[in-house]
Structure 1
Amino acid sequence: MDNSRGTPDAVIVVGAGMAGLACAVRLHEAGLAVRVLEAADGVGGRVRTDVVDGFRLDRGYQVFNTAYPEARRVLDIDALDVRPFASGMIVQGATARARVMLPWRHRRHALSGLLAGLGTLRDNAVLAAITTRDLVLPGSRLRAGRDRRTDEELRAWGMSAKMIDCLMRPFLAGVLLERDLETSSRVFHLLWRSFARGTIGVPALGMGRIPRQLADRLPPGAVTLGARVTEVAADGVRLADGTTIDGRAVVVATDPGSAGGLLSEIEVPPMRAVTTFYHAAPRSPLHEPVQVIDATGAVTDTLVLTDAAPEYSADGRALVSTSVLGLATDERPVRRRLGEIYGTTSGWEHLATYPIPAALPAMPPPHPLRKPVRLRSGLYVCGDHRDTASLQGALVSGRRAAQAVLTDLASHHAGHRATPGRATRR
């Protein structure tokens, strides 16, 4: 491409989501000039926070897990001021509810799993065995394990249909955004390990603080917003306005659909959809920061966010987040179910609805936990569709893409020094 704007010596990163920012920060801290081009009006991709009537609304229900290894490596978790949720859940059935908590985190609820009535004593022993195994084994062993559907894996461990349907299916629906439990069992074990090891919560000022923290580590002017890329090559990109920008290498860090539109080599995975409804209530209907899982499937889960993070509200009212699988626009059935769960929705205000059509890549078996990030010399790709579909996977893929760029550029530079005057390409 002919250069009409930009710095030819910079590495171009297309997309300022979690993967793109992680990649850009790694390249910058390795001493390379980097330029991030983002089509939207802010950084974060799917991880953004809006302020509506004084409430902080994350774009779809999202949580942060302090046990994610890559997050611990690249983020200042203390600075995020993560406000934790309770380590467990309330399972709401058609009429009754049961509490299931991690016994080592909530000692007064140590017997909650046994007393919940969601499964048999054997089921509780099976769940304890799965949890212990996933906590003790190194991640490499979990990644190398047998790959099959999660429901098949749970049955193979000896878990009953009742336990699967009453606890595992409704809980995992909110995590994997699917109720059939067709997700790779290897992915399940890695996620289960992270839930057992870490603290789940949200930054006090919203999930958008996470990508903002990464963006703040880049030099001023490194991120250009409102720059939609329509064409990529190993030596630069073309923008929607016709401008071309040359670079030493290009990393495509967009969502899977956009990446597939720019790169013919990318196979776009099916995407899971979810819709999140936000309501303001005069006061908390629950008074504890615990997730309520809906076993009936009318909604997926609901949580009073301000019970964990009061900063999500500017006027002291409670903020209730509720998610439904798929794309939904009608708030009325959601409110009816919330009335059954919380007892009343009198005085509640519907603040916003966030339908997210491409919230999470599907991960059915056989699911490769590491897909290539190097397409060819000078052209790379990253995103959670290259690793596990999670914030952890996005950050890891960004690091992997950055390392591939650094390796190729070092090799190219060494080739130039070895044969002066002759270009070396891989």
Structure 2
Amino acid sequence: MNDFSTVIIGGGVSGLTCAKYLYDKGMSFLILEGSDTLGGRVRTDRVEGFRLDRGFQVLLTNYTEARKILNYNDLDLRYFDSGALIKAKKGFMKVQNPFKNKAAYFSMAFSSVGSLSDKLKIRKLAKQVADIPDEAFFSMSDTDTLTFLKEYGWSNQMINNFFRPFFGGVFLENDLSTSSNFFQFVFKQFFKGEVALPSDGIEEIPKQMSGMLPKEQIRLNAPVKYIEGNQVFLEGGEVISADRVVIATDPHTAANLLGEDTAYQYQINTCTYFSAEYSPMKNQRFIILNPDRKGVVHNICVPSDISPKYGAAGKALISVSTQGLDKIDERQHIARIKRELFEWFGAQVNVWQHLRTYHLTEALVKFQAGTEKQNLKLGENLYRCGDYLAYPSLNGAMQTGREVAEMISEI
């Protein structure tokens, strides 16, 4: 039997964050990760030389928690252009962030994405949320995002052309039923920061975090069977005794370890990757949004335009995202994507090669109006962390990991 001060079950972002803050306080810990790699959902696969993030993921550089713990220079961040392209009946409409590019005020004023009044309201909301502390958003009264947008006065044209495809892509749902508090929090992040990718893939985030920790205090391929008091029982029969136990796993695993019958509701996302001889984006590093949410293509981007390392042998990497598909026939799904994008980009789509499809049935825990932050301390020596306990984001995962570490270090 081995003895440790704190055992952290799970080596995802929240577990790594907890470990980092404990380490900085000079406190001992052991991370037990059930798989062969750290990072949880924040992973990047290598397929035929391409780097494929497991689902379309980005880093919002204004995240308070990320700025506390990550070294952005060492991540070699590469940035999207600020704004988005919106598919129109003919071509695309460009919506830029006027707070990043003063010339965007002129282009937005004459775009058909919404009325001038709609665009002025964007500026108004940005000023309102700019100085609100991140935590304060989640203590305000809320409603669903769609109701908030309507009550704020945006037109249906603006909601359907911009807010639904853009924030529907962030929330991974098309009805905008997500809490308006989370909407305002995310709105602030987009307007105050940048949208970025580490040049070598999104998994460079947990790699950097694990590199801050002693290797001997991290164990991979160490699935936990159950916990009993301060003892942790591994699948292989080993028993580890600890002063404290932190559960930093996905919601299902956490519920099983705790003996809970908690049923979480999830948003579904399907991310499909293609290789192409060249990018269809013509040197524009935007995400393209599709206002027609009945289509199979909800948004598209070219990660290799952001960082060439995502591509391979001079070829471009295309990422196509779809929300809400309960089931998927991969061949039919790929064919539908190509038919739709043929209308967007023409015959070049016919020669795109499918690389991999990620059908994520539990991409994010739903965060609807009235959702409250859950307790992180479950007992005298038992804790848990993870974004599902606060709000679904990298920032939420890091925040809960930090808060648990602070609770432990104050003992």
TM-score of the two chains, using structure 1 as the length reference: 0.91
Please show how residues 278-289 of structure 1 align to structure 2 within 5 Å: 278-286=273-281, 287-289=283-285
**Residue range with higher mean Cα deviation, 68-77 or 99-108:** 99-108
Shift, 1:10, TM fit = 3.1
* Structure 1 residue aligned with 2:400: 397
* Structure 1 residue aligned with 2:362: 358
Please show how residues 254-333 of structure 1 align to structure 2 within 5 Å: 254-264=249-259, 267-286=262-281, 287-297=283-293, 298=295, 299-327=297-325, 328=328, 329=330, 330-333=333-336
2:137 to 117, 126, 142: 142
* Structure 2 residue aligned with 1:49: 44
**Residue range with higher mean Cα deviation, 305-314 or 326-335:** 326-335
* Structure 1 residue aligned with 2:35: 40
Please show how residues 89-108 of structure 1 align to structure 2 within 5 Å: 89-108=84-103
Q: Deviations over 1:78-108 (max 9, x none)?
A: 1101100011001114544211001232344
Give the distance between the partners of 2:399 and 2:99, measured in 1 at CA: 29
Amino acid at match of 1:227: A
**Residue range with higher mean Cα deviation, 154-163 or 226-235:** 226-235
Secondary structure class of the residue paired with 2:36: coil
Contact preservation (8 Å) 2:338, 2:350:
no
Give the distance between the partners of 2:23 and 2:136, measured in 1 at CA: 33
1:22 to 6, 17, 21: 17
Contact preservation (8 Å) 1:148, 1:185:
yes
Secondary structure class of the residue paired with 1:278: strand
Give the distance between the partners of 2:343 and 2:216, measured in 1 at CA: 50
Amino acid at match of 1:174: G
Contact preservation (8 Å) 1:91, 1:98:
yes
Give the distance between the partners of 1:341 and 1:256, measured in 2 at CA: 39
Give the distance between the partners of 2:133 and 2:226, measured in 1 at CA: 41
Contact preservation (8 Å) 1:236, 1:249:
no
Give the distance between the partners of 2:21 and 2:254, measured in 1 at CA: 21
Give the distance between the partners of 1:360 and 1:139, measured in 2 at CA: 20
Change (3 A) 1:250 1:266: farther
Shift, 1:24, TM fit = 1.1
Shift, 1:342, TM fit = 2.5
Contact preservation (8 Å) 1:12, 1:236:
no
Amino acid at match of 1:348: W
Secondary structure class of the residue paired with 2:38: coil
2:148 to 148, 153, 165: 153
Contact preservation (8 Å) 1:94, 1:296:
no
Give the distance between the partners of 2:11 and 2:361, measured in 1 at CA: 19
Q: Which runs of 5+ in 1 are unaligned?
A: 411-426
Give the distance between the partners of 2:337 and 2:82, measured in 1 at CA: 25
Q: Which has the larger radius of gyration?
A: 1
Please show how residues 95-244 of structure 1 align to structure 2 within 5 Å: 95-244=90-239
Shift, 1:332, TM fit = 1.2
1:383 partnered with 2:381: no
Identical counterparts, % of pairs = 34
Give the distance between the partners of 1:131 and 1:340, measured in 2 at CA: 35
Give the distance between the partners of 1:339 and 1:243, measured in 2 at CA: 56
Secondary structure class of the residue paired with 1:385: helix
Shift, 1:141, TM fit = 4.5
Secondary structure class of the residue paired with 2:272: strand
1:372 to 370, 375, 378: 375
* Structure 1 residue aligned with 2:248: 253
Secondary structure class of the residue paired with 2:403: helix
TM-score of the two chains, using structure 2 as the length reference: 0.94
Aligned CA-pair RMSD = 1.6
Contact preservation (8 Å) 1:59, 1:354:
yes
Shift, 1:227, TM fit = 1.4
Shift, 1:266, TM fit = 7.5
Shift, 1:241, TM fit = 2.4
Give the distance between the partners of 1:233 and 1:173, measured in 2 at CA: 41
Contact preservation (8 Å) 2:14, 2:397:
yes
Contact preservation (8 Å) 1:118, 1:163:
yes
Shift, 1:268, TM fit = 4.1
Secondary structure class of the residue paired with 2:322: strand
Amino acid at match of 2:303: L
Secondary structure class of the residue paired with 1:332: helix
Give the distance between the partners of 2:26 and 2:132, measured in 1 at CA: 37
Amino acid at match of 1:356: L
**Residue range with higher mean Cα deviation, 384-393 or 139-148:** 139-148
Contact preservation (8 Å) 1:91, 1:99:
yes
Amino acid at match of 2:291: A
1:13 partnered with 2:16: no
Shift, 1:231, TM fit = 0.8
Secondary structure class of the residue paired with 2:350: coil
Q: Which runs of 5+ in 2 are unaligned?
A: none
Change (3 A) 1:134 1:63: same
